[in-house]
Structure 1
Amino acid sequence: RSFAIHGNNQDGWTANFGKSPFVIRIYDKQKEQEQKGLETSIKNRVELELHANRAEQVISEWFENDNLVEYSLSILYTYLWFVDEPIDEEELKGTHVRERYIDSLKTMPAWSLLTSLGQSMKFVRKPKEQSVDSILSWIMKYVVPSLEVLKKTGHWHEVIEAMDKANLSPEQEKLIKANLVNAIT
């Protein structure tokens, strides 16, 4: 019902289907990574952006049935469908014949291929190991501009106070100790 396409040939195209709390996003992952100076073998990417209840449903399905791939693909099948023929809006509006009409439409081969290949995918959680250098790089790129705004608007002292009161996780404490050991040696 709602979609937006933005981008260009140089930077790549992004298509968003739906609105928050539920968006299906398809974009040129290779061009996105090239702009960051990185390489990837992934050409295009399909993402589900979920918030609130939708996100909780997916997490519940993952924990209860360890079936995230099939569940995610069922979301794609339910909410996004590319067909190789014009859609008759009047037929689509009919409440009793809607499902029968949808089932009669011929799915676009590329969409069938994507969704069938998706069945063989697996979701794997591999947390990235952080380093002090990666944290510093991220802060410099994404946080420093916002800190500058706070400094120039008189809120810098609040940031310093919050840092002094921050509770660090065990992983963060380990990073500090490892960095101190490296500095001493």
Structure 2
Amino acid sequence: MKRSIRQIQKDETREKLLSAAHIVFGQKGIMAARMSDIAEAAGVSHGTVFVHFKTQETLVAAVIDDFGIRMGQRTHDMARNSGSLRDVLKAHLEGIREDEAFYTQLVIETRSLPPIARETMISIQSAVSFHINQAAQREMDAGVIKPMSMALLFNTWIGLVHYYLTNRDLFSPEKSVIETCGSMLIDHFMHMISSAN
């Protein structure tokens, strides 16, 4: 079915709002940002935001969902194309880097977000965990990394990444943590779980 010009414009406006919200949430914080901030960043009227998203909660959930889809797809593509744990970890960090300010705010504010947004964050982590665990299992079976609990392996990785992101002022002030520290984090994690140790 062919979409009308009006529907195309509506879809484009929605995408513009999602993009603006990613940026505003990364700059101001998710819960501190106002709908009027997002409207201004998108170059639309305040009322236009509410045409697409009835509440701030639905906008937050949509932005997190949009981010999750992109993050999951990137990790899935890399896992399918390579399969090595190191490459899956690189893909995970690259997915974060593309929207690092937003993701960092998401990590910081997860406990205070509406339930639907927290559920979406859990889904994001589950998708990433699935691919990391698949790659890790292959490398455990091959004797490349130590046998260990998959939950502990993933939680150690995500805890390391989140610690650096939420303490950017210590590790990479005014710069991307992923660009500055990403390779070091992967090297450290791989060394820590290597069976050669």
Q: TM-score, normalised by structure 1?
A: 0.27
Question: In proportion to residue count, which structure has more helix?
Answer: 2
Question: In proportion to residue count, which structure has more strand?
Answer: 1
Relative CO higher for 1 or 2, CA cutoff 8 Å, sep ≥ 6?
A: 2
Larger Rg: 1
Q: TM-score, normalised by structure 2?
A: 0.26
